[in-house]
Structure 1
Amino acid sequence: MLITLLLKLLLVPTLIGLVTLSGRRWGPKIAGWLSAFPIVAGPILFFIALDQGNQFAIIAATSTLSAVLAIIVFGLAYVWAAVRLNWIGSLAVALFFYTLAVLGLKLLSLSLYAAAIASVLAIIAAPRLYPKVISRPSNSAPSRFDLPLRMSAGAVLAVSVTYFAPNLGPRLTGIFAMFPVMSLVLTVFSHRSEGREFATNQLRGMLFGWYAFATFCFTLALLLPTMEIAVAFLIATTAALIVQLGSRRFVV
């Protein structure tokens, strides 16, 4: 538990910082695409497997895979709410629909193959459901406090989720390993500082990164019953990296 907490405290703010800088350098879609790679959820699932055993980790990985659906719901709700609302209203709407999606996933308890099929279909369909926006350069330079505030907000959210996760059981633990810390922090701060168009493009770019994330979770849950934990994670990470590199050409 302590290792998981420290992992989130170190990885989440660092990743938020790197993705923020990449967004300023290469644009919002690349930033979103990079942020979806399982840099955070992967190590969390690894330590869950070490602490709780393979069977717990298999259920958690399957739930984490199904949670891609909830993250997609979060993004869609946010971008459409942002057409009319500011970041506060958009966030409230997104979290409301995210909560509904999580409750639905808990009731459904999707199998590994059902979660994989549903996630891939949702990833394919979701870009077509986004509003069309034109990227516009920001009119103002980011505040010197912007990056530290983003990283601090990510750390606070990560700690909060980690605190409650142990009492949730494997399914909800897996779902909340996928709590939209990255999406929430990056989207809200981008909306505030760079505008709705930047935030929308960032979330849309994130969709193409979910292919690698889904590959990681599916491969992991498939291999854990028959392989050592370290070997299963190594193969799953390699498979995710290959898919991530292959999906780059779709991020336009």
Structure 2
Amino acid sequence: MTLVLFSILWKTLATASVIIAAGRLARRLGPLLTSVLITMPFNAGPGFFFVALDQKRQFIAEGALMAFGVTGIILIYCTAWVHAARRFNFVVTSLLGICAWLAGVLALDSLTPSLLVASCSVALGALGALVLRRRGIPKPVAPPSAAGWRFAIVRGLAAGIVVATVATASPWLGAHWSGILLAFPTTLLASTWMLWGHYGRDFTAATMNAAQPSLVVYASFCLALHLLAGPMAGVAAVLTAFALSGVVAGLYAAVLMRFSRR
């Protein structure tokens, strides 16, 4: 019971931290770099870490494989979300995005899990996001001040509790559905809730549009964890994969900064 409570507390604080950071730093970073921040595996990372404390390497590898495949579906979620944001409020926009995610998950769940199937899912998701990508989003204008601490903390903790509950329950769900649920775009959903409420529709849509290529950060974590969970112990594999995704995020952010200055 103590481990479960500690797990929920840690994952709540971890997820809340990135939501709060996104809300406070978004004005300074802009949509591009904010998109890198919210695609770090702050949901799946802590989730797989605590699962690894109780489960064998094969469980982690299978779960990470499913999470990697769902990355392609998250790309479709982002695409649907950005298009829906043009006409609807936040709640309807998010529900339509979740419906797109569920449809993709049901399609993926009907196939036999393999690295080839997961890779095809990512490739198809990337192709769909590229073809259907929303163009012509108005250039966002950030407000004169960052989101207030109370505004950020309330939303961050609310999202963190949801993430912590799902991640803590995942060992009882099996590797297959653990990977799927840990890949649910909870951090993206909570971050857009935060950004929409303070920075507005256009800023949030621009951030989600930029988040599509930024998902290479999240995908790198899932793929690395799947490959490392066999040769390495579960906890070590999670920590190594998370560190590698951090390196990918840093390199990708540097590339974005370089090209944005041109």
Compute the TM-score of the two structures, normalised by the length of structure 1: 0.87
Amino acid at match of 2:92: G
In structure 2, the residue matched to 1:12 is 15
In structure 2, the residue matched to 1:135 is 139
The alpha-carbon distance between structure 1 residues 56 and 139, as it changes in their structure 2 partners (threshold 3 A), is closer
In structure 2, the residue matched to 1:176 is 181
Structure 1, unpaired ranges of 5+:
none
**Alpha-carbon distance between aligned partners in 1 of 2:92 and 2:243, rounded to the nearest angstrom:** 39
The alpha-carbon distance between structure 1 residues 156 and 171, as it changes in their structure 2 partners (threshold 3 A), is same
Q: Is the 8 A contact 2:85 2:201 kept in 1?
A: yes
Matched, 1:241 2:246: yes
Matched, 1:203 2:208: yes
Q: What is the DSSP-based 3-state SS (H/G/I as helix, E as strand, rest coil) of the residue aligned with 1:219?
A: helix
Matched, 1:93 2:96: yes
Structure 2, unpaired ranges of 5+:
none
In structure 2, the residue matched to 1:217 is 222
Q: State the aligned residue count.
A: 252
Matches within 5 A, 1:27-106: 27-106=30-109
User: Could you say what the CA RMSD is over the residues aligned between the two structures, in angstroms?
Assistant: 2.5
Tell me the alpha carbon deviations over residues 53-84 of structure 1, each in whole angstroms, 9 at most, x when there is no partner: 11111111111111212222221111111111
The share of aligned pairs that are identical, in percent, is 26
**Alpha-carbon distance between aligned partners in 1 of 2:104 and 2:128, rounded to the nearest angstrom:** 17
State the structure with bigger RCO (CA 8 A, min sep 6), 1 or 2.
2
Amino acid at match of 1:180: P
Structure 1, 150-159 or 229-238: larger mean CA deviation:
229-238
Q: Is the 8 A contact 1:63 1:171 kept in 2?
A: yes
**Alpha-carbon distance between aligned partners in 2 of 1:10 and 1:235, rounded to the nearest angstrom:** 21
- Counterpart selection for 1:116 from 114, 119, 123: 119
The alpha-carbon distance between structure 1 residues 107 and 145, as it changes in their structure 2 partners (threshold 3 A), is same
Q: Is the 8 A contact 2:14 2:46 kept in 1?
A: no
